[in-house]
Structure 1
């Protein structure tokens, strides 16, 4: 993000969020993937020209990055800091359950998202909380003085074949407030590495066009074996 630490800079940043279409784009992009301008336009139910105008503002403001491939314009969140800001702001608004879904499809999507989803590049929802609680219960993660992997936790990630590669100043473990569970789940390098491995190893699969994920039968067995998480809590 490129805003200065001043009143004007804060106002400019807040202004980027102060539009329902732009806010919807930012929430959709929390799935960590790149979307085309057309996909975001259809997702928000706006014209392509309207979407393009909003995306240009978000890119200019440093919240999104873009690349073009042929005729397509792809955008994604600029970095993990932006994802954290979007998720933290979402956690401050009323819980999703407070607003009744308008259709059965919307109700199903909301239920799936609450059960398990990606929060940019780590796991969230009941799934993310279950993993976080299990790591904590096994002494692999500490939450009493802020989120931190123990020495045993670092070795555990190595033992299961999930490398923890630190880049830049991103912490190894960080608490991210879950906006549906209202409790912190694991983010940072460890959270991202676990999520990536869970998806590539087939423990979890993405479902629908939202950022919801579902634990597979293989994932249920693995998570039970590695972390003692009961399958019933993942369904």
Structure 2
């Protein structure tokens, strides 16, 4: 029997096969916080040899899922853009959760749910609650893609976000990104990235003890409550 031709406009299988390998999936996940990492660091995080990591990175590079930056003799890899991060987040949302085998894994899983970066914007319970607070306060309007109101523009200017510069970026302005742990959207795009950058610069959030993790500071809890009426957030600081 001759197979019937099915028209398609993208070679989904080629990209899916790149992500499907466990080592390459681990490498891509390690790059989800937007940082550029050396091959040796990625090998350690994926639990493979340097030679094995280099071979997988070559395939990811050829497939356009990562880019490389050279500094002297060193080469640093990062995701090729926010679109790749979005694909990985969607896959995480429909994938089974790995079995937790230690107290450390349980603690990190809890911290990932509370506050993390999704490429370059705030995600987890913290990101979802911030978006809900901004919508409730009238800072944003819309559903699947948001527009900033005049009231929201003033609030973000107070936060230190240059909205005009954000609009000039060649990237979607303020799309919703479905959070894979909360099953509700957080704010992504150029605006989500700019807000997250300001939160870190102000010291309202700080990097956590593992990649992607963020910790809410006391200053941040007070500031988010005062500026956005965003309450009920908890710190990600591990209990010792």
- TM-score, length basis structure 1: 0.90
Alignment of 1:13-162 (within 5 A): 13-94=15-96, 96=97, 99-144=98-143, 146-162=145-161
Unaligned runs of 5+ in 2: 1-7, 236-240
Unaligned runs of 5+ in 1: none
CA deviations on 1:99-131 (whole Å, 9 max, x unpaired) are 431111111111111110000010000110111
How far the C-alpha of 1:167 sits from its partner, in A, is 4.1
Q: Is 2:184 aligned against 1:183?
A: yes
How far the C-alpha of 1:143 sits from its partner, in A, is 3.7
CA deviations on 1:49-107 (whole Å, 9 max, x unpaired) are 0000011111111111102223422100111122222212222213x3xx431111111
Please tell me whether Structure 1 or Structure 2 has the larger radius of gyration of its CA atoms.
Answer: 2
Change (3 A) 1:41 1:195: same
Moved over 4 A (4+): none
How far the C-alpha of 1:147 sits from its partner, in A, is 2.7
CA deviations on 1:7-43 (whole Å, 9 max, x unpaired) are 6x22211111110111111111111111111111111
How far the C-alpha of 1:208 sits from its partner, in A, is 1.8
The question of whether the paired residues in 1 share the 8 Å contact of 2:40 and 2:50 is answered with: yes
- Counterpart in the other structure of 2:4: none
Distance 2:132 2:94 in 1: 22
Change (3 A) 1:65 1:167: farther
- Counterpart in the other structure of 2:3: none
How far the C-alpha of 1:234 sits from its partner, in A, is 2.5
How far the C-alpha of 1:186 sits from its partner, in A, is 0.3
Corresponding residue pairs, total: 226
Q: Is 2:185 aligned against 1:218?
A: no
Change (3 A) 1:23 1:163: same
How far the C-alpha of 1:169 sits from its partner, in A, is 4.0
Q: Secondary structure at the match of 1:30?
A: coil
- Counterpart in the other structure of 1:193: 194
Distance 1:71 1:145 in 2: 44
Distance 1:228 1:54 in 2: 45
Change (3 A) 1:202 1:145: closer
| Two-structure CA RMSD over aligned residues (Å) | 1.7
The question of whether the paired residues in 1 share the 8 Å contact of 2:123 and 2:179 is answered with: yes
Change (3 A) 1:144 1:66: closer
